[in-house]
C-alpha cells in the first residue's frame, strides 16, 4: 500500500493496479510544509482522504495520529474518516503532542486509556458503517511501529497470534527510520496482512523537484533538459481521464471499486 500525498498520486496507483493506498500524517504534514508533530487538524486529513478517494476509488487506510484528542474527538474522527471515503484508520497510543514513531523520546498513554479510545472508535464504527469501517491499533488490526528487523517482526507476530490466532497485522516499510530494508515477500512470509510505504512517493517526488530547482538556480538551464524526467502533458491528461474539447464528468476514476477492505 504505497502512500498517497495527493489525489494525483493515488490516481496513478489505481492506474497501475495497486489494490489499496495509505495516507500518512507525516507525508501530509510535509506536503503542507510543517513537521509531523500534530500541527494539522482533522479537517486537513479528511480533505486529503476525500481527494484520494474521489480520484482513485481505492480502499484507504488513513493515519489518524492520536485521534486528534480524547474520546469525543476519536468518535468524531471515525465518523468523519468514514464519511470522507476512508476504509479504515489507525490511532497511536502516544501522548500529545505526538512524534513520528521512528523517533526517540515518545511518551505513551496508559493501556487503560488506549483501550477506552479503541472501544469508542469501535462503537462508532459499528453504529455508522455496519462494522465495515476498520479500526486499527487493537480493535481489528495491530500496527507495531519502529521495529528494527525481521526477527522483531516475527516475534511480535508470533506473540500476538499466541494471544489471538486470527490477528491481522500491518507493517510499515518506511525509509530512513529504525526498520531495516525488508522486501514485501518477507512480510508476506511472516503473514503480515498489509505493508505500507507511507512517505516513499513524497520523498521520490520532492527529491526530483529539489534536483531540478538546484540545477535551475545554479545553471539556469531551460527545462528542456529535464523533459525526460517529467510526466508529459499527454500522459497527465490520460491519467486524469481528460480529453480537451470533450465533456468532463466529475468524479472520473479509472474504474469503480468498493472502498471496503474489511473483506
Q: Has residue 98 got a pLDDT over 80? A: no
User: Cell triple for residue 155?
Assistant: 516475534
Please report where in the chains the cell 489518524 appears, as a residue: 64
The model's pTM is 0.88
Give tens-digit pLDDT for 215-253: 889 888 778 888 889 999 999 999 999 999 999 998 886
The grid cell for 208 is: 526530483
What is the spatial distance between Cα 52 and Cα 9, in angstroms, rounded to a whole number? 8
Please give the pLDDT value at position 254: 63
DSSP 92-131: --BPSSP--TTSS---BPPHHHHHHHHHHHHHHHHHHHTT
Domains of the chain, start order: 7-199 (3.20.20.60), 204-240 (no CATH)
Contact call for residues 253 and 56 (beta carbons, < 8 A): yes
Amino acid at each position: 500500500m504505497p502512500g498517497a500525498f495527493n489525489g494525483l498520486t493515488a490516481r496513478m496507483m489505481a492506474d497501475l493496479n495497486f489494490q489499496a493506498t495509505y495516507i500518512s500524517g507525516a507525508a501530509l504534514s510535509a506536503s503542507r510544509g510543517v513537521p509531523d508533530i500534530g500541527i494539522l487538524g482533522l479537517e486537513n486529513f479528511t480533505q486529503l482522504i476525500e481527494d484520494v478517494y474521489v480520484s482513485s476509488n481505492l480502499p484507504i487506510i488513513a493515519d489518524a495520529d492520536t485521534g486528534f484528542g480524547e474520546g469525543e474527538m476519536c468518535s468524531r474522527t471515525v465518523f468523519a474518516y468514514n464519511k470522507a471515503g476512508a476504509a479504515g484508520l489507525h490511532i497511536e497510543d502516544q501522548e500529545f503532542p505526538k512524534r513520528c514513531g521512528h523517533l526517540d523520546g515518545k511518551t505513551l498513554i496508559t493501556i487503560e486509556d488506549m483501550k477506552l479510545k479503541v472501544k469508542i472508535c469501535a462503537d462508532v464504527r459499528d453504529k455508522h458503517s455496519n462494522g465495515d469501517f476498520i479500526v486499527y491499533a487493537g480493535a481489528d488490526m495491530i500496527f507495531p511501529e519502529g521495529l528494527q528487523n525481521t526477527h522483531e517482526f516475527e516475534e511480535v507476530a508470533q506473540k500476538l497470534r499466541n494471544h489471538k490466532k486470527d490477528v491481522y497485522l500491518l507493517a510499515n516499510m518506511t525509509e530512513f527510520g529504525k526498520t531495516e530494508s525488508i522486501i514485501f515477500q518477507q512480510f508476506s512470509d511472516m503473514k503480515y496482512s498489509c505493508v505500507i510505504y507511507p512517505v516513499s512517493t513524497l520523498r521520490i517526488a520532492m527529491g526530483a523537484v529539489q534536483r531540478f530547482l538546484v540545477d535551475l538556480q545554479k545553471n539556469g538551464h531551460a527545462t528542456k533538459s529535464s523533459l525526460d524526467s517529467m510526466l508529459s502533458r499527454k500522459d497527465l491528461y490520460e491519467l486524469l481521464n481528460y480529453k480537451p474539447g470533450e465533456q468532463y464528468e466529475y468524479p472520473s476514476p479509472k474504474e469503480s471499486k468498493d472502498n471496503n477492505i474489511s473483506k
